[in-house]
A and B are shown apart, each in its own frame.
Chain A
Amino acid sequence: MSHRLSGNEAVAYAMKQVNPDVMGAFPITPSTEIPEYFAEYVANGEVNTEFVAVESEHSSMSVCIAAQAAGARAISATSSCGLALMYELLYVAASCRLPITLACVNRALSGPININADHSDSMGARDSGWIQIYAENNQEAYDNFLMAMPIGEHPSVRLPVMTCMDGFITSHAVENIELLETDVVRRFVGEYKPEHYLLKKENPLAVGPYDVSAYYMEHKVMQAEAMKAAKARILEVAAEFAKISGRHYGLLEEYRMEDAQLALVLIGSTAGTAKAAVDRLREKGVKAGLVKVRVFRPFPGEELAQALAKTRAVAVMDKSESFSANGGPVFAETRSALYDLQERPYLINIVYGLGGRDVKVEDIEKVFGRLADIAATGEIGTVYTHMGHRSREEKV
């Protein structure tokens, strides 16, 4: 059925259709609407969820951990500093192998305080052991949330899943969207049936015990193996999802990459803007393309290397600053992934769009202009640069 919803509404509606057991949530812009809409569903008796209004995000994730360990399906939603306040618990959830689902509405981290979109919040949590799936638009935000539980809860995975969308750009913009029927969603997501849980009276269970050095590393290897296994599971679930929705998802999305010589690698809503730029350039005969990284954890390194293998010059666009003095997180992963190629394209990194700084089709065209120069001259210039900021120097 066709509707017009904002990204937040779409995710809240997905949550309603799933009807989870517990939601622990604390309001923070721009994700506030999600628990707000959901609380309305609870108040109207449209879901059976136990909604726990907590005093902080540290507590909301703690509620989710406790509920999930007890055998319930738990969800939350947050943004920015809220995610940062969950930091410790994100690791606890992942290491206890509790498949909680969290809707992260991407927003800049303080400071200076800023409420607009960039990826610094979820990128800061990229090594916490959560699966991370990023949406380009409202439809993907809805679809990704529905796929999260079948991915995370599978016995071969057992990891929490963070579905991310860009704050305001996606969360508040109203778009056309195709919703699935609720009974179809319920059948697809299924019941949460963990093998072990605290409320199972037949077998007592201890969750999260102290791990001495003789065991800790083995448990980390198990977690790392689960993250590797998640790749296959994500594709399996995507294939099942295609059957009920007609919408196809991979770890990456390749746009006009068949014969592309110049390419972008990026995440999230900017992909929409960049696709328009690619189309414009294609009309002018430029062999431009882009790869949207949909799943950032687990990182599809081999697939990305494959997608970029035949290009001449690539710009990796990071919507977060990692202050490594050596480029952003998407760049670090991409450059690492390309190392195994026999012939590698020229590679640059552009950090853009911080704190809601706009990026337009023309900006993306300029990036392709720079790539064309690099491909023609073989001169990369400065590898790691910023875009869209005011500067005395003229640059992309």
Chain B
Amino acid sequence: MIYAKDINEQTPWQDLTPGGEIYEPGTARAFNTGTWRTNTPVFHPEACKHCMLCVPFCPDSAIPVKDGKRLDFDYMHCKGCGICEEVCPFPAITMLTGGAAK
């Protein structure tokens, strides 16, 4: 069985799966799609009340939560759409122009 962790962009065709089949769930976690980001959200923890409104709105599940607290953005998956800033009732998220993480 060939797992996603065993292949990369240097893997020869003989070692890939037929049709690109994937034999495990959740492989998107390992795939850096943050390079596509157009704008960049910045998290201001001092202003955050952890109301959790931003978390379900994020289309890329790029806002990690631990023990009832939201953490800083997962820039490996954030595309910079800015929905989090729109729904945040506090000044806890601001957007920077451009895709480079702060």
Spell out A's residues near B (CB within 8 Å): 95-98, 158, 196, 203-209, 211, 214-215, 218-219, 221-222, 225-226
Spell out B's residues near A (CB within 8 Å): 1, 9, 11-13, 16, 18-25, 27
Residue pairs across A and B with CB atoms within 8 Å: the count is: 51
Interface of B (DSSP majority class): loop
Pairwise interchain contact A204-B18, C-beta atoms closer than 8 A:
no
Q: A209-B21, A215-B9, A226-B18 are in contact. List 19 more A-B contacts (CB 8 A).
A: A97-B19, A97-B21, A158-B18, A196-B21, A204-B23, A204-B24, A206-B21, A206-B27, A207-B19, A207-B21, A208-B19, A208-B20, A211-B20, A215-B20, A219-B16, A219-B20, A221-B13, A222-B13, A222-B18
With contacts A196-B21, A196-B23, A209-B22 known, is A203 near B16, CB below 8 A? no
- Which 6 residue pairs are nearest across A and B when measured between Cβ atoms? A218-B13, A206-B22, A97-B19, A214-B9, A97-B18, A96-B19
Pairwise interchain contact A218-B21, C-beta atoms closer than 8 A:
no
Taking CB atoms, residues of chain B closer than 8 Å to A214 are: 9
Pairwise interchain contact B20-A204, C-beta atoms closer than 8 A:
no
Taking CB atoms, residues of chain A closer than 8 Å to B11 are: 218
Q: How far is the CA of A222 from the CA of B7 in the complex (A)?
A: 15
Pairwise interchain contact B13-A204, C-beta atoms closer than 8 A:
no
Q: Closest approach, in angstroms, between the C-beta of A390 and any C-beta of chain B?
A: 48
Q: Closest approach, in angstroms, between the C-beta of A381 and any C-beta of chain B?
A: 46
17 A-B pairs whose Cβ atoms sit less than 8 Å apart in the complex: A96-B19, A96-B21, A97-B18, A196-B23, A203-B23, A206-B21, A206-B22, A209-B20, A211-B20, A214-B9, A215-B16, A215-B20, A219-B20, A221-B13, A222-B13, A222-B16, A225-B13
Q: Closest approach, in angstroms, between the C-beta of A218 and any C-beta of chain B?
A: 4
